[in-house]
Chains A and B, each alone.
Chain A
Amino acid sequence: MKSNIPFKLFVNCVLVKGANRSTICDLQRNDVRVIPNDLHDLLAENEGKTIDEIKKQYGNEFDEIIDEYFQFLYYNEFIFFSKQVDIFPKLSMEWADSTIINNCILDIDENSNYNILNVLQQLNDLQCRYLEIRNFKSAKIEVISNVLKFLKESESSIQSVEILLPYFNGIELWIASTQEKYVRLHFVRVFKSPFNKNIAPKGDHKLHVMFTKQDYQNELCCGKINQSFFSANMLAFTESVNFNSCLNKKLSIDRNGNIKNCPSMQYGFGSVASTKLKSVVTKNDFTKVWNISKDKISICKDCEFRHICTDCRAYLENPNDHLSKPLKCGYNPYTSEWSDWSKNPLKKEAISFYNLQAVTEKP
């Protein structure tokens, strides 16, 4: 600590002010610290001054608390001291991505009959990089294997595949043999499993497998906001500052073959059997939700977690307002309290609007 040299926040430790408190989002070390709004304001207003100057500004009345604040900041390496504060520019908040569609969700059930390989071909033309395939009722392992085989043989732009499927006897063997063959398979989530188990990637294997006893019956399970999904990194943060943190550059095909922003959304853009993906993704109607950043969403815009949070535009607290906060969020940024969203009496109407009463949520 050097109290006579100007202090500066490392620019990758970004302050986000909420209604009741603030956060320091450490985008380099993926760390989030909640701080009082007083400290936020102290930092925002005094960056580039020395601690001695700041103390003096407050008539040396709060020296102790100022010391405490700065010890916390210095100890966690959120700040540094230098006479050269001017050579450190602001961090660019630009988000840029070299794809037309970055990620895609394909829902498949026993009645789905759309041509999945044709979709994959079109996704390659859109430079899509991430694919999630979801099986709700039964595991369509022959379809999944065909997809992985196709991606490998066609050297597709899709490099990473995530799969959601229900448990079946012999699934562990199937996963083991599939991961040997297809390095693009990065995540498998097995639900309705007799056990809970988490297998982290190890050595050369990039695959992460998660078994959960929970049941996911359909797309209604999606959209939950939870602290465990928070992530403080440069890519996610800058995307959230500029774009919607769930739907930006996302494309989905629901189980009936309808092109959508997300399978849970009501509005579709035609059947994939008769509509080219490329013609949809250039439509303003399709891309306009990409621009709904957290700063535009009511309540979220007052939340200190807004730029490290996921979003959901499918299930809204007020279904008639497209800028309403996610229904499945239990956090109140005005009181800083978390509660169970599904038990909130104020959300009852919206819950029945979306027929969510009987749904088990994705953790």
Chain B
Amino acid sequence: MILLISSKYDVSTNNVVRWLNYYGINYVRLNTEDFNPLNHFSLSNKSSKLTINDIDISTITAVWHRRGRLRHVPNSLNNLGKVTDYLKKEEDSLVKSIETYLRSTKKYIGSYTSEVENYKLEHLMMAKECGLNIPNSIITTSKKDLIGFYNSHSQIISKDLRYPINIKTSDVSINSIGTFKVTDELIQGLDEQFAPIYAQEYIEKEFEIRVFYFERRFFSMGIFSQHDEQTQVDYRNYNTQIPNRCVPINLPLDIEKQLLSFTDKIKLNTGSIDFIYSTDERYIFLEVNPMGQFDWLSKNCNYHIEREIAKEFMEV
């Protein structure tokens, strides 16, 4: 029996489920939107046992943790302000511990812990150690240093370190615009000291590359976002009228090797990885999204990734 943890709205999970049905693979799906009662997670020197939603987890042979995480705090406790915040924190540590427990006992593909602890700087450091090219980057609280970085590159961009900003109060609403170019005016408007800003050299790209990684296999796609002003800085500023050209790509073997040692290092068995292929002919690692979307990649490249994922569970 396979356990799927996902959002009920996730198209890719639905498509994988169809293939599981096709191959006659038994599965149970728990959705992250629902309250999932935790019957017990019992630990003793002699044994440990886990039952969620009346499912005895010892009957589960493999887990595909596709999106989000399970909710074990009843919905009735969701609107208690700071109390809820506290309960959620406790729940977070529980969920992560359960993941660690399951990971040590069975095949467990995907990770909530990796998703929330997806620190871009750590990944840059690891990627560099594995021999991958990374963009020149700076994190600074100083206007002087930022100006120094700005002046030593023809153009620079800025993005968030971990979380896109999303603040809504009664009088303000602040939303992330994703990656953006840093201009003279922007810098001039800054104080001498500020909260840490993450900036990178702007790399002239020939195309971008999105890699979906699953159990030591790579499914890669080239994204030609350069011709379109809207997507020049980041293809995620989607143009829905005329979509960027997206075509299958074969990463060079040495890049795949470096990526494999990278994913081993950060203990990732699935995820989406972004690269740039620069006009000066280099593959440059940008970042990882452990629970990134791959539906569009699978469709554009005719990869049938959903079937390949289902097949992975056939052998368990």
Query: Chain A residues in contact with chain B, CB under 8 A?
Result: 10-12, 28-29, 77, 80, 82-84, 87-89, 91-94, 96, 98-99, 127, 234, 238
Contact = CB atoms under 8 A, between A and B. Distances in A.
30 contacts: A10-B224, A10-B245, A10-B247, A11-B248, A12-B246, A12-B247, A28-B243, A28-B245, A29-B243, A77-B245, A80-B224, A82-B206, A82-B207, A83-B281, A84-B281, A87-B249, A88-B248, A88-B250, A89-B250, A92-B248, A92-B302, A92-B303, A94-B302, A94-B304, A98-B19, A98-B21, A98-B22, A98-B307, A99-B22, A127-B18
Question: Which of A28, A94, A234 gathers most chain B CB within 10 Å?
Answer: A28
Contact of A96 (B242, B243, B251, B307): B307
Interface in B127-157: none
Question: Which of B206, B246, B302 gathers most chain A CB within 10 Å?
Answer: B302
A211 to B, nearest CB: 29
A28 B247 CA distance: 9
B247 to A, nearest CB: 5
B252 interface: yes
A327 to B, nearest CB: 33
Interface residues of B, number: 29
Contacts of A94: 302, 304
A234 B252 contact: no
Nearest to A233: B299
Contacts of B97: none
Contacts of B277: 84
Nearest to B14: A159
A158 to B, nearest CB: 13
A88 to B, nearest CB: 6
Given A80-B245, A96-B307, A127-B21, A87 B300 contact: no
B246 to A, nearest CB: 7
Nearest to B227: A77
A32 B19 CA distance: 32
B249 A88 contact: yes
Closest 6 CB pairs of A and B: A98-B18, A98-B22, A98-B19, A92-B302, A10-B245, A11-B247
B304 A96 contact: yes
A317 B307 CA distance: 39
Nearest to A93: B302
A163 to B, nearest CB: 24
B159 to A, nearest CB: 26
Contacts of B246: 12, 28
A238 B281 CA distance: 33
B222 interface: yes
Contacts of B248: 11, 88-89, 91-92
B73 to A, nearest CB: 28
A9 B33 CA distance: 43
Contacts of A77: 224, 227, 242, 245
Contacts of B302: 91-94, 234, 238
B247 A88 contact: yes
A241 B145 CA distance: 58
A192 to B, nearest CB: 38
Contacts of A91: 247-248, 301-302
B225 to A, nearest CB: 12
Contacts of B245: 10, 12, 28, 77, 80
Nearest to A238: B302
Question: Which of A98, A127, A238 gathers most chain B CB within 10 Å?
Answer: A98
A89 B299 CA distance: 16
B41 to A, nearest CB: 31
A12 to B, nearest CB: 6
A87 B251 contact: yes
Interface in B18-38: 18-19, 21-22
Contacts of B299: 234
